[in-house]
Amino acid sequence: MMLVTTAILTGLALAFANGANDNSKGVATLVGSRAMELGKALRYAAVTTLLGSFAAILLAQTLVDRFGGKGIVADDLARLPAFAASVGIAASLTVLLATRLAMPISTTHSLVGSIVGIGLAAGALDAPTVVKVFLIPLLVSPAIALGLAAVAYSVARATRRRLGVTRETCVCLDRSFEPVAIGADGAIMLRSTGAVLDVANREQCVERYSGQVVGLDAQRILDVCHLLTAGAVSFARGLNDTPKIAAVMVAAGALGSAHPAVALVATGIFIAAGGLLMVRRVAETMSERITEMNDGQAFTANLVTAFLVIFASKLGVPVSTTHVSCGSLFGIGAVSGKGHWSTIATIVLAWVTTLPVAGLIGVLAWTVLS
């Protein structure tokens, strides 16, 4: 009974840690492009992620089974409460450590590392299945996201220019955006009056699109689409991550004969809580430190991320929302030439170390609990 309780608590702790590390990944582009302030964006992400968690009840049962260890380790091991509790402890501690360091890592990687480490320690791991079902999608998905984002943005930019939509630098004055010009000496001045802006005003400069598409203001269309795709990414994250975390409780038989929906709902609520209470450090990394971006680039990154994660969730493919989201931003940074590659290298290093760290903690937890 103690191990079952431990499995429940570690599952909920992992859900909270997931929210703390992942909640900003859907709305980082809104903040990074200055389309929305951080607090409001995080609340929007929490609500749309929770909706995705509820949708997982109908669409993502396959992921519940896979992350419970079925087919990955021996069935006798997967059914033990000590196995589920050890996986939950290792994954939650790994994600919480990364959150403290402001590093966006993958909860999926943490779970896989935990399962593999414990499976190896118990001599009950099906290695070919791990490679086929987990490692290949996790390694390939960020590269696909990077490539798709680079191509999609290049196509969107060419289309925008063909439609005659131009990009201009503006500053918000008295609730309206005023175009500005940059002089040869670097001075920034209002086009309408020629007034030179001071340092504080310069920091408020943003890029906006000028022109119409099918008779509608291009910037307004983009604002709406950007908001919708940010919500779609958060929804996809809830859809893809919730069943993986709920599997910790389901695998342990922690809910008795109750339907897995109970674990999915509880997981979704704790993900939302973590995403509201402990997310700002990672949010700053995602929105500001990976790449500079304008509205069009941000929209493209979100569109690619939402498409890949929702598609993978429906097929039961365990991709990482973190890797796909960051991969899309890497692609945008590569095309725009504004990627912060030292930060990107640090994030990739964090990804590489996630698996062995989670595996080592998993082995230690298994040794104690078993």
Q: Are residues 136 and 35 in the same domain?
A: yes
Q: Does 316 or 43 have the greater pLDDT score? A: 43
- Residue range 344-364, pLDDT digits in tens: 999 989 888 999 999 999 999
Same domain, yes or no: 149 and 80: yes
248: nearest Cα among 73, 82, 74, 54: 82
Over its C-alpha atoms, the chain yields an Rg (Å, rounded) of 22
- CB neighbours of residue 333 within 10 Å: 24
Domain co-membership, 183 together with 323: no
| pLDDT tens per residue across span 179-206 | 656 666 666 666 666 666 654 454 455 6
Domain boundary among 143, 178, 210: 210
DSSP class of residue 133 equals I
Amino acid letter, residue 129: T
Among 175, 193, 210, the domain boundary falls at 210
In three-state secondary structure terms, 68 is coil
3-state SS, residue 338: coil
> Are 177 and 194 within one domain?
yes
200, 241: one domain: no
Tens-place pLDDT, residues 249-277? 776 564 444 457 788 888 999 999 998 88
257 shares a domain with 343: yes
Round the average pLDDT of the chain to a whole number and report it: 82
336 — pLDDT class (breaks 50, 70, 90): confident
Domain count, the chain: 2
Q: Residue 182 — φ and ψ, nearest 5°?
A: -110, 120
Percent of the chain clearing pLDDT 70 (strictly above)? 82
- 358 and 240 in a common domain: yes
Alpha helices in the chain (DSSP H): 2-22, 28-32, 38-59, 61-66, 75-78, 81-100, 107-122, 127-129, 136-162, 199-202, 218-251, 260-277, 280-284, 295-315, 321-336, 341-369
Which SS3 state, helix, strand or coil, does residue 35 take?
coil
pLDDT band at residue 175, thresholds of 50, 70 and 90? low
Check whether residue 346 and residue 365 sit in a common domain.
Answer: yes
**Are 128 and 170 members of one domain?**
no
Cα torsion 71, 75, 80, 86: sign? negative
Q: Are residues 200 and 258 in the same domain?
A: no
Mean pLDDT (whole number) for 8-33 = 87
90, 114 contact by CB (below 8 A): yes
Q: pLDDT (tens digit, 9 = 90+) per residue, 301-324?
A: 889 988 888 888 777 777 788 889
For residues 198 and 321, membership in a common domain is answered with no
Mean pLDDT, residues 161-176 taken together: 69
- Residue 204: which domain range? 166-210
**Per-residue buried b or exposed e for 131-150, using 16+ beta carbons within 10 Å of the residue's own CB:** eebbbebbeebbebbbebbb
Give Dmax (Cα) for the chain: 76
pLDDT tens figures, 81-103:
888 889 989 999 999 999 988 89
- Partners of 182 in the β-ladder: 188
Which residue is listed with tokens 């990154």? 301
Kindly state whether residues 188 and 324 are assigned to the same domain. Answer: no
